[in-house]
């Protein structure tokens, strides 16, 4: 798609030399993520102190350490660790991790709440998400234009406040909560999402351009 839209410009900007892809590093990272996800998903079932779970966490730690060591020594790393020497990039990465944890945990739990607690079908639960998704498509371009003109910090703070407020509004949801009462906080949260992502990406990418 990038080549299609960029046309000849995309071809002219291709590098003269192609670096070798580090499949070993990719394998180490894949093992790390897979082990960690399995342990987190099965920890309650097997017991957090069981041999299986502890062995999985140990495997994740060892493979992640090996991944970092390989990236530090590789001339063409998958992840340039020198980026984390910059305060702005490191702060944006930590913020993206924390925000992503809150976002995807809610995106994972809310469908279960709508289907298992409120008894909605999968289709109706998906339709409850639809207004928020549509609104993101309208707010995101506006947020992206603002991110090019003002400092990203105020926009990120405003977006986090909006996202936190939406989660606060959901604190007392139960089986008797109407679908409308769910949709409104969800829409508010997606507005916060649309406000956060463009300035956060701009902050990270600006540091990457300066580094490379």
pLDDT in tens, 77-102: 888 888 888 777 787 788 888 877 77
Per-residue pLDDT at 3 exceeds 60: no
Domain boundary among the residues 60, 79, 98 is at 79
Residues 145, 161, single domain; the answer is yes
211 vs 77: CA distance, rounded Å? 14
Residues 138, 40, single domain; the answer is no
137 vs 193: CA distance, rounded Å? 11
Residues 109, 41, single domain; the answer is no
Residues 160, 190, single domain; the answer is yes
The better pLDDT of the pair 26, 76 is held by: 26
Residues 48, 120, single domain; the answer is no
Q: Which of 114, 135, 136 is nearest to 126 (CA)?
A: 114
With beta carbons less than 8 A apart as the criterion, state whether 182 and 115 touch: no
Domain boundary among the residues 49, 79, 109 is at 79
Total domain count for the chain?
2
Residues 204, 103, single domain; the answer is yes
The better pLDDT of the pair 61, 122 is held by: 61
Mean pLDDT of the chain: 82
Domain boundary among the residues 42, 60, 79 is at 79
Residues 146, 115, single domain; the answer is yes
180 vs 62: CA distance, rounded Å? 47
Residues 67, 146, single domain; the answer is no
The boundaries of the domain holding residue 58 are 1-79
With beta carbons less than 8 A apart as the criterion, state whether 169 and 205 touch: no
70 vs 72: CA distance, rounded Å? 5
With beta carbons less than 8 A apart as the criterion, state whether 135 and 194 touch: yes
pLDDT at 33: 94
Residues 115, 182, single domain; the answer is yes
Residues 100, 37, single domain; the answer is no
pLDDT at 15: 53
Residues 8, 64, single domain; the answer is yes
pLDDT over 70 for what percent of the chain? Answer: 88
Instruction: Give the Å distances, CA to CA, from 105 to 55, 81, 84.
Output: 25, 27, 26
pLDDT at 123: 87
Q: For the whole model, what pTM was predicted?
A: 0.65
Residues 28, 15, single domain; the answer is yes
């Amino acid at each position: 798609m990038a080549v299609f839209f960029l046309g000849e410009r995309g071809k002219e900007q291709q590098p003269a030399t192609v670096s070798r892809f580090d499949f070993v590093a990719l394998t180490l990272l894949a093992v790390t993520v897979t082990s960690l996800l399995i342990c987190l998903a099965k920890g309650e079932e097997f017991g957090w102190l069981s041999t299986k779970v502890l062995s999985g966490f140990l495997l994740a730690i060892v493979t992640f350490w090996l991944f970092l060591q390989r990236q530090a020594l590789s001339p063409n790393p998958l992840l340039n660790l020198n980026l984390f020497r910059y305060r702005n990039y490191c702060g944006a990465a930590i913020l993206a991790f924390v925000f992503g944890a809150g976002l995807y945990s809610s995106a994972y739990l809310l469908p279960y709440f709508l289907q298992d607690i409120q008894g909605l079908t999968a289709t109706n639960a998906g339709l409850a998400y639809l207004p928020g998704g549509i609104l993101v498509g309208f707010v995101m371009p506006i947020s992206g234009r603002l991110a090019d003109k003002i400092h990203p910090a105020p926009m990120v703070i405003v977006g986090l406040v909006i996202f936190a407020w939406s989660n606060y509004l959901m604190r007392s949801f139960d089986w008797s909560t109407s679908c409308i009462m769910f949709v409104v906080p969800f829409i508010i949260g997606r507005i916060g999402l649309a406000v956060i992502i463009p300035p956060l990406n701009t902050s990270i990418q600006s540091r990457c351009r300066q580094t490379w």
